[in-house]
């Protein structure tokens, strides 16, 4: 009887440990990537990307590469604040040898309407300046942008979007890495800004 109880106890402990481990080994880099993304820790995020994938690493670095202009700085501050509200859940892990596909459900703040409102307002103000016979200086344009961004951010009402992403991972030298950094991943982390920029680019024929 004691042996039976011991065997059952070991089985329960084994199942508990498996449940606590939570994430399949192949999905670990994806889990760690999104966990770091909630604080926009790009250094920790890069560690989960295949080292030979320089394009993916550069794409990741660009998230926080602020140029010396108010748009970049305000955008990054906004993005950092909204990234904290992103949630994700690893739904499926399909392993095929040293490769795997990880399916992730994400939920994130949709900042698209804000960006559209900012650019729409800016275009109207620029056109107003042009029609009145004066083109704003670079400094005036920066001030104008900062004012518009702050005004629109104050009025911004948060809504959320969901997106399911399939992420390829690969095992190299005994460690799993994200093989490709998809545009959808950056879009989620940037609160949908990538989608809007692409949409606006298409609208202007770029």
pTM: 0.76
Q: Which residue has the tokens 């809504």?
A: 159
What would the pLDDT profile of 28-41 be if each residue is shown by its tens digit? 999 999 999 999 99
Q: What secondary structure letter does DSSP report for 40? A: T
Least confident interval from 11-25, 68-82, 157-171: 11-25
Put the strands of the sheet holding 99-109 in their side by side order.
87-96, 99-109, 160-172, 175-178
With 60 as the cut, is the pLDDT of residue 177 above it?
yes
Measured CA to CA, the distance from residue 105 to residue 91 in angstroms comes to 7
Spatial CA neighbour of 176 closest among 24, 21, 29: 29
Measured CA to CA, the distance from residue 145 to residue 126 in angstroms comes to 10
The phi-psi region of residue 118 (left if phi > 0; otherwise alpha if psi is between -120 and 50; otherwise beta) is alpha
Residues paired with 106 in a beta bridge: 88, 163
With 70 as the cut, is the pLDDT of residue 122 above it?
yes
With 90 as the cut, is the pLDDT of residue 120 above it?
no
With 50 as the cut, is the pLDDT of residue 203 above it?
yes
Say which CATH topology domain 24-107+162-206 has: Nuclear Transport Factor 2; Chain: A, (3.10.450)
With 80 as the cut, is the pLDDT of residue 98 above it?
yes
The share of the chain scoring above pLDDT 90, in percent, equals: 38
Instruction: Please report the DSSP string for 104-150 in residue order.
Output: EEEEEE--HHHHHHHHHHHHHHHHHHHHTT-PPPHHHHHHHHHHHHH
Spatial CA neighbour of 102 closest among 200, 181, 194, 46: 181
Domain ranges for the chain, please list them: 24-107+162-206, 112-155
Measured CA to CA, the distance from residue 84 to residue 36 in angstroms comes to 10
* Full 3-state SS string of 57-74: HHHHHHHHCCCCCHHHHH
């Amino acid at each position: 009887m004691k042996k039976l109880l011991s065997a059952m106890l070991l089985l329960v402990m084994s199942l508990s440990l498996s449940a606590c481990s939570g994430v399949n080994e192949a999905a670990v880099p994806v889990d760690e990537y999104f966990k770091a993304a909630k604080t926009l820790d790009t250094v920790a995020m890069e560690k989960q990307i295949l080292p030979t994938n320089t394009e993916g690493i550069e794409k990741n670095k660009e998230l926080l590469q602020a140029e010396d202009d108010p748009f970049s700085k305000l955008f990054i501050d906004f993005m950092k604040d909204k990234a904290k509200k992103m949630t994700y859940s690893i739904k499926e892990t399909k392993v095929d040898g040293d490769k795997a596909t990880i399916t992730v459900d994400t939920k994130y703040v949709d900042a698209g309407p804000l960006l559209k409102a900012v650019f729409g307002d800016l275009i109207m103000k620029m056109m107003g300046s042009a029609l009145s016979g004066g083109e704003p200086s670079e400094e005036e344009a920066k001030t104008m942008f900062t004012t518009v961004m702050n005004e629109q951010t104050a009025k911004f009402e948060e809504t959320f979007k969901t997106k399911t992403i399939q992420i390829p991972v690969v095992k190299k030298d005994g460690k799993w890495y994200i093989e490709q950094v998809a545009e959808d991943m950056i879009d989620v982390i940037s609160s949908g800004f990538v989608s809007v920029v692409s949409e606006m680019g298409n609208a202007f024929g770029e």
